[in-house]
Chains A and B, each alone.
Chain A
Amino acid sequence: MRLKMLAAAAALALGVGSAQAQISGNTIKIGVLSDMSSLYADIGGPGSVVAAKMAVEDWEKMHHPKFKIEVVSGDHLNKPDVGAQIARKWYDEEGVDVIVDTPNSGVALAVSQVTREKNKAFIGSGPGSSDLTGSKCSPNTIHWVYDTWMLANGTGTAVVKHGGNTWFFITADYAFGHALERDTTNAVEKAGGKVLGSVKVPLNTQDFSSFLLQAQASKAKIIGLANAGGDTINSIKQAAEFGIVKGGQNLAGLLVFISDVHGIGLEKAQGLILTANFYWDMNDKTRAWSKRFAKLDNNKMPTMVQAGVYTSVLEYLNAVNAIHSDDGGKVIAQMKKKPFDDPLFGKSRVREDGRNIHDAYLFQVKTPAESKGPYDYYKLLATIPADEAFRPLKDGGCPLVK
């Protein structure tokens, strides 16, 4: 009799236990938090929402899940307080389970903290600061596509090897710019170069003239642009206006997206060396997906951030499906379990510190003569294998790494 009761109790307990691994409201809600209206809108922005929705559609077709999937979006206006408030409201009030994209490292760092507090998930394809998997790493965050260490050691090292051994930085004055300047300085000095100085510029500055003049006065061979998006476009255009390159100095765009090259034009952008993890014209898979994307996004080819949003949503949904839970910490842990074959980025693996590693590529912008049409902008100079492209696990200072 007692044995039967014990068995029944055990069965009940097991039943209750397994019921706890469930998906709240039988809905998975994905929040695309991005810069929808300002200098990073073309890098992520509405295009990221398109990518997320494509991922949901494709995944649902493949897996026919029993739960519903919804996508919501929000504009963080490049302000960490706005981003954090939206994140809190989404997590508390609207049942959002995961936030993706988030270009702007300041916002991403704030959102990462809120996500950890609420035990949700954050998969950032947009931000750059390597601190997201370094001193500020979190068990609820994955840094999906690129980071400042990768850019610094890709572009920075290559440029020094080509002879650009004295540098002056024009730096966007916030988390991303600071991290990029710091990581590039380390890479340049390791390669035998020297940094002569730097100037901090407010985000979304329209007029770079006085900063470019300071760079010119330093007589450094390379003016490193530790900024992105609209800032990079303006810096490069105005540098042409002030005859900087004619005067013998060269610009190094440390973070350049295909949308930027499109905005600057090949005439002014040709010869720029840049590091990226995705280019629409790399192989058949990327070409096919990118053409689908372009049809949905005003004929614009996807940036690596938008491609990252697509695959991060796919992998997130795979993990949710595998453990049948939307518990943030558990899903992120599941995503770290095995290496996987990313449809757009190739062989990938998420490390303990939350860093997703895959190959990086050194590209150079084509000359107008070499380009056969719109968005035919890059030629491949070199491939950096995944294990070398990113900062070694032990160097990050992440408390999660033992």
Chain B
Amino acid sequence: MTTLFGISVPALMGQLLIGLINGSFYALLSLGLAVIFGLLNIINFTHGAQYMVGAFVAWFLLDKAGLGYWWALLLVPIVLAAVGVLIERLMLKHLYKLDHLYGLLLTFGLALIFEGVFTKRFGSAGLPYSIPDKLSGGYNLGFMFLPTYRAWVIAASLVICLGTWFMIERTKLGSYLRAATENPSMVQAFGVNVPRMVTLTYGLGVGLAGLAGVFAAPIYQVSPQMGSSLIIVVFAVVVIGGMGSIMGSIVTGFGLGIIEGLTKYFYPEASNTVIFVIMAIVLMVRPQGLFGQR
């Protein structure tokens, strides 16, 4: 066992790698939340439930239609985006003129509905979803055995996160989105259909949540509670990163995953609370978050 200053390097590296994997999920989910909050000023408490539904849809596709993982990656975000569009059109759009906190309460209620329905139907123990064959097996890195699938999760999340960031910050469509939320009436006057942009943005955020659900299905087991355990942590990530900042949530997501991994090695009892402690400190010192501007 190699040690450096009394630290077992293999064990530490192992926890850091697990932390990076968790961080991928934090980044993906907080990205969706940040897109929705940054562009729409809605706090989407349903995000965890939408992630859970994404995992279930993937399971359905496999169980009922025989469509495997790769199909799920394509179809689930589309299904979830459609769900998001429905939610926005039917319910959220009535709340824009009210205090933000009503949006929070509505989405909280929706999360309860989703979770309750799925728990009733499926129990809370979790359904199995196997790792796709092309991604099974792993690499022996010496200090740990890294399953291929988990490496894929890290790589794919990075690509998607950076891709989304690029689309929003650097493309014309993205600039329309950003303008539409800063000054809706002026952008509408220019002929851009603002309400449709808003709806599509919410759909995009929800679709991202669904995609994260597909990634999660083979490793975290498909269960109705999978979202609620994660959503609070993801909120913390978004708040720390800066509630409107997309790059902020990506960096913070991966970063906090790593910090959690480090804490698991040095001080395991604190690993659950470290993110909240950081969030409380950030809120006291720099409430707009590390990368936010307000």
Interface residues of A (CB under 8 A from B): 36-39, 41-42, 199, 204, 206-207, 209-210, 213-214, 216-217, 219, 229-230, 234, 237, 241-243, 246-247, 263
In-complex Cβ contact of B145 among A206, A242, A263 (8 A): A242
Interface centre among B21, B125, B145, B147 (most CB of A within 10 A): B125
A230 vs B220: C-alpha distance when bound (angstroms): 13
**Smallest CB-CB A-B distances: 5 pairs:** A217-B11, A243-B145, A37-B123, A213-B14, A38-B124
Closest beta carbon of chain B to A64's beta carbon, Å: 38
Additional 16 contacts, C-beta under 8 A, given A37-B123, A214-B15: A38-B125, A39-B125, A204-B124, A209-B18, A210-B261, A210-B264, A213-B144, A217-B11, A217-B14, A229-B125, A237-B128, A241-B138, A241-B147, A242-B138, A242-B144, A263-B128
Contact B220 A206 (CB under 8 A): yes
Contact B125 A216 (CB under 8 A): no
In-complex Cβ contact of A213 among B18, B123, B124 (8 A): B18
Taking CB atoms and an 8 Å cut-off, the chain B residues in 1-32 that contact chain A are 1, 8, 10-11, 14-15, 18, 21
Closest beta carbon of chain B to A270's beta carbon, Å: 18
Closest beta carbon of chain B to A34's beta carbon, Å: 12
A243 vs B140: C-alpha distance when bound (angstroms): 9
A243 vs B21: C-alpha distance when bound (angstroms): 18
List residues of chain B with CB within 8 A of the CB of A219: 1
Closest beta carbon of chain B to A257's beta carbon, Å: 13
Contact A207 B219 (CB under 8 A): yes
List the B residue with the shortest CB-CB distance to A209.
Answer: B18
List residues of chain A with CB within 8 A of the CB of B21: 209
Interface residues of B (CB under 8 A from A): 1, 8, 10-11, 14-15, 18, 21, 119, 123-126, 128, 131, 138, 140, 144-145, 147, 149-150, 219-221, 223, 225-226, 261, 264, 268
Interface of A is mostly: loop
Contact A41 B123 (CB under 8 A): yes
A209 vs B261: C-alpha distance when bound (angstroms): 11
List residues of chain B with CB within 8 A of the CB of A214: 11, 15
List the A residue with the shortest CB-CB distance to B272.
Answer: A202
Closest beta carbon of chain B to A39's beta carbon, Å: 5
A38 vs B226: C-alpha distance when bound (angstroms): 13
Interface centre among A199, A217, A247 (most CB of B within 10 A): A217
List residues of chain A with CB within 8 A of the CB of B126: 39, 206, 230, 234
- Pull 26 A–B residue pairs with CB atoms less than 8 Å apart, ordered by A: A41-B125, A199-B268, A204-B124, A204-B225, A206-B126, A207-B219, A207-B220, A207-B221, A209-B18, A209-B219, A210-B264, A213-B11, A213-B18, A214-B15, A216-B144, A217-B8, A217-B10, A217-B11, A217-B14, A229-B125, A230-B125, A234-B221, A242-B138, A242-B147, A243-B138, A246-B145
List residues of chain B with CB within 8 A of the CB of A36: 123
A204 vs B123: C-alpha distance when bound (angstroms): 12
Closest beta carbon of chain B to A396's beta carbon, Å: 31
A65 vs B147: C-alpha distance when bound (angstroms): 61
Contact B131 A210 (CB under 8 A): no
Closest beta carbon of chain B to A315's beta carbon, Å: 30
Contact B124 A210 (CB under 8 A): no
Contact A206 B261 (CB under 8 A): no
List residues of chain A with CB within 8 A of the CB of B220: 206-207
List residues of chain B with CB within 8 A of the CB of A210: 15, 18, 261, 264
List the B residue with the shortest CB-CB distance to A42.
Answer: B125
Closest beta carbon of chain A to B130's beta carbon, Å: 9
